[in-house]
Amino acid sequence: MSPLVIIFITVFIDLLGFGIIIPLLPFYAQSFGASGFTIGLLSTVFSLMQFLVAPLCGRWSDRIGRRPIILGGLLASCLAYAALALADSLALVFLARIVGGIAGGNIPTAQAYIADITTPENRAKGMGLVGAAFGLGFVFGPAIGGILTRFGHATPMWFAAALCLANFTAALFLLPESRHGERAGVSRGRLDLLHRARRHPGLLPLLLVFFIVSAAFSGFEATFALFAERRHGLTAETLGFVFAFIGIILATVNGLLVGRVVPILGERRVVPLAIGLIAVGLFLVPLAQTIPTLLLALGTLAIGMGFNNPALSSAISRLSDPTEQGGMLGLAQSLAALGRIVGPTWGGFLFDRAGITMPYVSAGTIMTLGLLLALVGVSRAQLARAPVIP
């Protein structure tokens, strides 16, 4: 079996467990007396740990190899879900989310693994597999979790833990190491990586784009359910179908279209185009007056996200030194985690204080800034004839 197929299956099963848990977590936390603010803190703690750990995992994978970090992340996910199932207090729920955030640091390592085993020409297609795994995880995960809740609130947590344990066992025997004879890279800190990114034309602006996209999209995610209920009268069940619609588009774009479009247009065109689609989708959400027009807005947003993440990750990988790919991709995911801390807080504040449409107007405006940064990044890379330009 191809290592690319193995890493896709590994990431998909990992994210399937994530998709099972996330929609149920607020209700699970409420059973321990958590308030809305406390439930928000659970997401913040998870993202904060990713912000702290993702660059470390990336740098360690540059030194000791990708396989040990990926295996460690899978085992940590198993422990996090088991801790959730065993939790008898809100404090243990927080502890489980902290461990889960640490486990989330293996995603940039998986991206670095893909960078190791793909050529620059097909790297975006490989990165698209991670995005497809995300999309499929969020299509099937919530449905599985919803069925399992009939057997008790802890049942989905135990199922996710068992899934991750099986995933760890399979990867232990099937997943080969992707780095051979290239482990002498120096472990660099976050600030050092940012400083070194300035030496690569176009790399620093593209890293900042990761933060902006994450902040804008997470601000949308944090408030959309409330917006959809108030503006369109959508129920929790209907929202599940809406999110499945988004997940299907993400999986289709990442799995089928990225590998065909990016080699033709190149990252320098796809990244700005994708960011433009995200901005348009965000601006259209508050303008939508009917369900079909809302789905059109969400579809535009999902297509943009589907193209942006793999193309942007591919561009960052190609602009980075080969011995620092794990560190730079980890830094990108760390900035994305920081965006997931800032975005929901800002979006929630605007929703309460400025009106239910303002989070999306604000996010669309921020994405316009992201578009300018992306254009600066790809222009600098092109002027320097960096390898991101086909």
The tokens describing 226, both together, are 């409330």
Averaged pLDDT for residues 200-221:
86
DSSP letter string over 312-356? HHHHHHHHS-GGGHHHHHHHHHHHHHHHHHHHHHHHHHHHHHT-T
For position 383, what pLDDT does the model report? 42
Distance, CA of 374 to CA of 328 (rounded, Å): 17
Averaged pLDDT for residues 164-187:
77
For position 194, what pLDDT does the model report? 65
Set out the domains of the chain in order of their start, with CATH numbers.
Answer: 3-175+188-383 (1.20.1250.20)
User: What separation, in Å, do the N-terminal and C-terminal C-alpha atoms of the chain show?
Assistant: 30
pLDDT one-digit tens code per residue, 65-107: 889 999 999 999 999 999 999 999 999 999 999 999 898 877 8
Q: In terms of pLDDT, which residue wins out, 5 or 190?
A: 5
Q: Of 247, 249, 300, 242, give the one whose Cα is nearest residue 275.
A: 300
Question: Is the predicted pLDDT of residue 309 greater than 80, yes or no?
Answer: yes
Distance, CA of 56 to CA of 188 (rounded, Å): 9
Give yes or no for a contact between 83 and 94, defined as CB atoms under 8 angstroms apart.
no
Question: Is the predicted pLDDT of residue 239 greater than 80, yes or no?
Answer: no
